[in-house]
Structure 1
Amino acid sequence: MDKFEAFEKLKEYSKNLSAVSYEEVYDLLKNGIKYIPIPLAKVKKKAYIDRVRPNKGETLFKHIDELGYIKDKNIIENHLTSFGRANCPHQVMFYGALETSLIDKQRLTAIAETSHIFRKPGIDCIDGELYTISRWEIQDEFLVVEIVFSEYALNNNPEIAQSFENQKKLLQEHNLDKKEMDFHLDFLKFISEEFSKKVSSNDDYKISAAYTNIALLHPDVNGICYPSVQTEYFGVNIVLTPETVDKYLKPIICSTQIVYKKGLKSLIANGKNYCKDIDINKDIDWKEHDKSILTDKNQVITHLEK
């Protein structure tokens, strides 16, 4: 089987991923297609990544370790049991959101991707749910795989369209013949759509998870960035390995946010607590905002009905 036949078989797999194993998908990518295209992009020094964790009721997180990638072995073994868009069951990854010009506050992307209120339509939450956002500063530039070939994302986000053009130019510099060029573009569009699709089952993540793990075998690859499905591709997500987080990221601030929702309207308001200077060797030094926080239910409803 050559790579063109393997690619056609992968497309067939994608139609019903619950019927094939992850190992079959991984093997087809790694040993069938073999040399899969990996478009690289730099994540710049001093850029920020926002990450969100849901709180349990009103309880505040105690240490920054609780806001980073999962370290609790019990959670990894007993709760991290499903495929994610860029991870296998029991595989720890760091999910966050990058800044884009279309969403001025990247925490909105992180909340939209994390909150079940947004992920499951038809859920109202007038009382609000508490989330904690942490911001991580990149200490030195590094490379990730850039997933920017999805038609959905290209149509919605001009920044992604520009990245797509840049990646096409890089491909053209390799002087590929038409058949090879078409294969590369078709494959990257297919993979991008796997990262961009709205899923009905965690099995639907098998191809994107397998591609991520194969791409991470590249010595220069530290993670994946791809458009945010929950923000209609206006935002950009980033997924990093724990090793990359430890080497390149520094947590600098965190704060609580409250998410309200009624019908199609939502409201994200500041919570009571924040920490402006995180020390990884100490517990989080939570402070309370001096200004009033939106907690009155009638005011919340008024905002949601505007």
Structure 2
Amino acid sequence: MKRIIEMKFPAMVNNYGETPKDLQLSWVNDNLSSLQKKLETVKRLLTQPVDNARFNEAINAIYFIIDKLPLMVTRLNVGTHIFRARPNYGKLYSKKQDISYNIENVDKISAGRFNRPLEPLFYGSLRVNNPKIDPVLHCSLEACKQLKDQINPPAIQDLTIGCWINKGLLPVINLSFDEKHLAGNADLRQATDNFKAKTDKFFSPAASKFIFKFMEFFSELACSVNKDESSYFIMNAYLFAIRYYYANERNTAIPGVIYPSAMTDNHGLNMVLVPQAVDYFLELQYVYMQRFFLPKGSKTYISYPCSELIKVADEKFNFARVRPYILNGEVVDYGLTHNKYN
């Protein structure tokens, strides 16, 4: 298996779309069958057991395609807020690294939507101008999927919510081609329509159709509720191929992907970033704790803030007041017995 690519920053690319190097437009128009075979390879691997040989085969197939096709690259504006939550499980957090990507217990990292086992990545949620989506609820559901467990949901769950801010023009691949998401995200809809118009202008109708077929395949996979490791394995290969391609062929970096949120029925917008991008672009500004309480006999959580809002200083913060609760007949106060919550 190839090594993880170390990205160098800053590295910028075109705004909404990256055309293939040397503008290989005629090649794409004349060789669609080769591209289609590569996509069929990826689809075949989606149904097969996961191993290193198949992982590399998926990377090579995706790499071949993205070397020939334009990808929709966008930049997150300076000042964009990213929300990320972490369940407390009875513990108070006190520093940025506690609620960022996991580097302290790498051996406990299992395969995720974009990360391989033992690979730390940063998953966050972006604010969208959609009344159906609250950013706190969105990032909480992403961090604690048990909140949607219909069989054995937690009776009470505290989460530490971090509000991060983007400090630079952060380039990411857009995989948000889901119609349900685009219907509630006017800005991304406009950007997607502009990208499609440019694609239709430069490529044949058949080639343009394939380009969006390729993108929609991965968009659907990214926002689906994955039921087995094969879907994770293909998305892992996708991000790896993206990172490897831009580092190897362009001497630049595309350090992340935006994609619709499966936990919010695709209405929310998620982002995944490599650790280097988090360290370079993001700053943790504020933290607080949010509580989810499930009344007995109910299927609907009551949610409310259970701590003060804290401004982070020098990547550290200190919770002095947290509302206690009773669980199994015992008071849970996080050891803050001398600090009454008002």
TM-score by length of 2: 0.75
Percent identical: 21
1:204 alignment counterpart: 231
**1:44 aligned onto 2:63:** no
Alignment match of 1:18 (pick from 36, 40, 49): 49
Shift of 1:148: 1.7
Long gaps (5+) in structure 2: 1-32, 247-251, 328-342
Bigger strand share: 1
The answer on whether the counterparts of 1:17 and 1:204 sit within 8 Å (CA) in structure 2 is no
The answer on whether the counterparts of 1:4 and 1:33 sit within 8 Å (CA) in structure 2 is no
Give the secondary-structure state (helix, strand or coil) at the position aligned to 2:208: helix
Q: CA separation in 1, counterparts of 2:64 and 2:285? A: 42
Letter in 2 for 1:200: K
Long gaps (5+) in structure 1: 298-306
Moved more, 84-93 or 143-152: 143-152
Give the secondary-structure state (helix, strand or coil) at the position aligned to 2:306: strand
Alignment match of 2:165 (pick from 134, 137, 143): 137
Give the secondary-structure state (helix, strand or coil) at the position aligned to 2:255: strand
Alignment match of 2:150 (pick from 96, 121, 144): 121
Letter in 1 for 2:117: P
Shift of 1:168: 1.0
Given the superposition, is the C-alpha separation of residues 33 and 266 from structure 1 closer, same or farther in structure 2, using an over 3 Å criterion? same
Alignment match of 1:279 (pick from 300, 314, 320): 314
Given the superposition, is the C-alpha separation of residues 152 and 18 from structure 1 closer, same or farther in structure 2, using an over 3 Å criterion? farther
RMSD, matched Cα: 2.6
The answer on whether the counterparts of 1:152 and 1:196 sit within 8 Å (CA) in structure 2 is no
Shift of 1:68: 1.1
Q: Deviations over 1:130-181 (max 9, x none)?
A: 11111111111221001122345446655554443233123234x1112211
Alignment match of 2:207 (pick from 164, 167, 180): 180
**1:192 aligned onto 2:224:** no
Shift of 1:107: 2.0
Letter in 2 for 1:257: Q
Q: CA separation in 1, counterparts of 2:266 and 2:197? A: 23
Q: CA separation in 1, counterparts of 2:205 and 2:134? A: 41
**1:169 aligned onto 2:197:** yes
Alignment match of 2:282 (pick from 249, 271, 274): 249
Letter in 1 for 2:199: L
Given the superposition, is the C-alpha separation of residues 104 and 11 from structure 1 closer, same or farther in structure 2, using an over 3 Å criterion? closer
Shift of 1:98: 0.4
For the pair shown, the structure with the greater C-alpha radius of gyration is 2
Moved more, 253-262 or 236-245: 253-262
Q: Deviations over 1:48-100 (max 9, x none)?
A: 1011111131x20121111111121xx21x21132x11111222111100001
Letter in 1 for 2:158: L
The answer on whether the counterparts of 2:147 and 2:154 sit within 8 Å (CA) in structure 1 is no
Alignment match of 2:243 (pick from 199, 216, 223): 216
Q: Where in structure 2 are the equivalents of 1:251-266 lying within 5 Å?
A: 251-261=284-294, 264-266=299-301
Give the secondary-structure state (helix, strand or coil) at the position aligned to 1:18: coil
**1:111 aligned onto 2:133:** no
